[in-house]
Amino acid sequence: MTTPKIIYLSDVIAPCGMNCGICMAFLREKNHCPGCNSDSLQKPKHCTACKFQTCPEKQSGDLACYDCSKFPCLRLKQLDKRYRTKYGMSMIENLLKIKEIGIAKFVEIENARWACPDCGYPINVHRWKCSHCGKARTDSIKD
């Protein structure tokens, strides 16, 4: 068995609550996205123009959406609804959990939650399968 790719670092949690470590673009080898919080020039254009990253309500670069007086804003509610419906994951629940238990504990929980039970690599939230061995996502991963 190969060693799983370690991706669950707190810097892969986007301000909107997305865990970039389970994102299809982050997990792919070709045209790999370095994650929302990266300053890399390899970041896709839609990520550099992200409304959550460039939100005028953010007073500093480190502000997560849960710290905003408008949380959850309409834009976040729309994104959350789409991810709940299509992918069985909630950005708003992620942010509330981070606020409650802290980023380190949240990342630890995410690591276990999204690890493939067969090989330990991350489950791709967008493809409903393991990014390494292709095992289908189980209902136990859904919210």
Give residue-wise pLDDT tens across range 12-26.
888 899 998 888 888
Return the domain boundaries, the chain: 10-141
Distance CA 143, CA 141 (A): 7
Quick one: what percent of the chain has pLDDT higher than 70? 85
Give residue-wise pLDDT tens across range 23-68.
888 888 888 888 877 777 777 777 777 788 778 776 655 567 888 8
Give the pair of three-digit tokens for residue 98: 């981070």
Cα dihedral 57, 43, 111, 24 sign: positive
Distance CA 136, CA 140 (A): 12
User: What amino acid is encoded at 59 in this protein?
Assistant: Q
pLDDT bracket for residue 142 (50, 70, 90): very low
Query: What is the mean pLDDT of the segment spanning 89-99?
Result: 94
Return phi, psi of residue 54, to 5°. Answer: -105, 15
Q: Residue 60 has what pLDDT?
A: 58
Distance CA 82, CA 68 (A): 21
Which residues are within 8 A (CB) of 92 and not within 5 positions of it... i.e. 6 or more apart?
Answer: 17, 72, 76, 77, 80
Q: Residue 131 has what pLDDT?
A: 83
With 60 as the cut, is the pLDDT of residue 129 above it?
A: yes
With 80 as the cut, is the pLDDT of residue 126 above it?
A: yes
Distance CA 101, CA 14 (A): 17
Give the pair of three-digit tokens for residue 133: 């061995």
Neighbours of 133 (CB within 10 A): 13
